[in-house]
Structure 1
């Protein structure tokens, strides 16, 4: 068996979690898969799989090798597609990660338009608030809000968003409007306990960022629920501008303390391989970038 097929066998075992699963995926016998893994381990002079009564587990040495193996196979497939002329007509599945509240009004219309134009493509969307690891998690493209850590990914800027405090007209009529961040201590506030959301609110006061500790009347497990509660007049909520774009447009919420807002943060599409990316990745970047930049929820 060639080195490439050995890597395919190892990758299939990693993805399916068993030798039998890998055999079914590659339409080979379990014995053939076992021989491929044994040959790979012999050539590397290292143990990759720990076999037990309940199946197989990766050895410590195999954890990083599995990532490299997947990358090699993906690059090989991309090179073959390009050589075969498939780069000009994208086909297959594209996995895109994005913040939860970016999907309904901003991303979904763009995704539907993309699928109308590229009829051989399928999209899988993953909603999450952290910065994903593209290669390790099998994600092709991510729409990310905020500064990126040092990364080998390529980034395409599409706009900016800013944090803001909002309240409903009904709430403000009853409780008044805060004039400074310190006034929030006498207001009813709503916070989100989900990952990525701070329990303390930050503001820019006299050129320095300062935090305000709150005693919220409501803690929500999702930002969507917190925003909904704010529109019903329960209290004030802190959010990113894109998260309440529709509520602001409809007058359901009013921005507050705008003179104390911290700096806007970038919104970027991140992906791997730059201009060498596969057609399914490259066409989506080229299609989505100008449409995201034109959206009113993303500041220039």
Structure 2
């Protein structure tokens, strides 16, 4: 029991970034947390944490031990959850990650509904525009927009999105509409680094890849700011279809160069295979998979057609 408590304290320090934060999380004093870590390091015969007056971080040995601790604690948590509840009454903490705009528009409403439906599940929702590492960061479920490499995760297909090129109607009225990707050299462009390379956009012509070099007027690394720049007429932009969906529906952005769009980009729900038997994960997967698969913006549908059908 003491060993498990020390593991829990160690993980809490890493997650909270401080001894004080860990003490609050595990319900102990900062002094007791410090003594527990000293005891753990003494028993293991190595330093797990590098401490300064301003920060605390894992040593190389600590990084390896952290993954082992998470596995042990997750196994215990899931075993207890399985005994205490089934899919109709899941318990425990569920950590979910998704890209910022995608999460805000499509995942957050489902997460909120899930939290109301299953009050015994504590939800930790992380919306970040980077690839989260499920095992290393303790993420149970990740919504991933993009092609997947080989990994120890299980992927559930949800749909796909397109990389499309957009411009504000006012911009097109003043500068004209490009008819071919190479025409972009005569236009102002905004590069969003979350979708395209800053100086090169990719199109397809007659089934062949067509890269176009650019000198963008603006380079942006935040999705909301990139969309706003395009809406304000700063220039033509490439976005993922879901990122521009509300602005297209509102008539603030218009797709251009549609016949040169690149291939579709898959959207998947990922979870770690060893956790697939967890009631909280099964419940969340079942709760969100259907609605997300039915979302028109994840099925490659033209948003203008969606607006007409409503």
What is the aligned-residue RMSD (CA, Å)?
2.8
Return the alpha-carbon distance in structure 2 between the equivalents of residues 243 and 189 of structure 1: 17
Q: How far did 1:26 drift?
A: 6.2
State the secondary structure of the residue aligned to 1:135.
helix
Return the alpha-carbon distance in structure 2 between the equivalents of residues 52 and 110 of structure 1: 40
Cα–Cα, structure 1 residues 114 and 56, in superposed 2: closer, same or farther, change >3 Å? closer
What TM-score, normalized to structure 2? Answer: 0.82
Return the alpha-carbon distance in structure 2 between the equivalents of residues 259 and 59 of structure 1: 52
Larger displacement relative to structure 2 (82-91 or 202-211)? 82-91
Cα–Cα, structure 1 residues 264 and 23, in superposed 2: closer, same or farther, change >3 Å? closer
Return the alpha-carbon distance in structure 1 between the equivalents of residues 59 and 260 of structure 2: 52
Counterpart position of 1:132: 132
Cα–Cα, structure 1 residues 215 and 89, in superposed 2: closer, same or farther, change >3 Å? same
Cα–Cα, structure 1 residues 52 and 163, in superposed 2: closer, same or farther, change >3 Å? closer
Q: How far did 1:246 drift?
A: 1.3
Q: How far did 1:62 drift?
A: 2.8
Matches within 5 A, 1:114-263: 114-193=114-193, 197-199=196-198, 200-263=200-263
Counterpart position of 1:35: 39
Return the alpha-carbon distance in structure 1 between the equivalents of residues 62 and 155 of structure 2: 29
Is 1:280 the counterpart of 2:280? The answer is yes
What TM-score, normalized to structure 1? Answer: 0.85
Q: Is the 8 A contact 1:129 1:196 kept in 2?
A: no
Q: Is the 8 A contact 2:168 2:231 kept in 1?
A: yes
Cα–Cα, structure 1 residues 10 and 220, in superposed 2: closer, same or farther, change >3 Å? closer
Runs (5+) with no aligned partner, structure 2: 301-310
Q: How far did 1:80 drift?
A: 2.0
Corresponding residue pairs, total: 294
Larger displacement relative to structure 2 (276-285 or 9-18)? 9-18
Cα–Cα, structure 1 residues 64 and 257, in superposed 2: closer, same or farther, change >3 Å? same
Return the alpha-carbon distance in structure 1 between the equivalents of residues 127 and 50 of structure 2: 35
Counterpart position of 2:46: 47
Runs (5+) with no aligned partner, structure 1: none
Q: How far did 1:58 drift?
A: 4.0
Q: How far did 1:104 drift?
A: 3.1
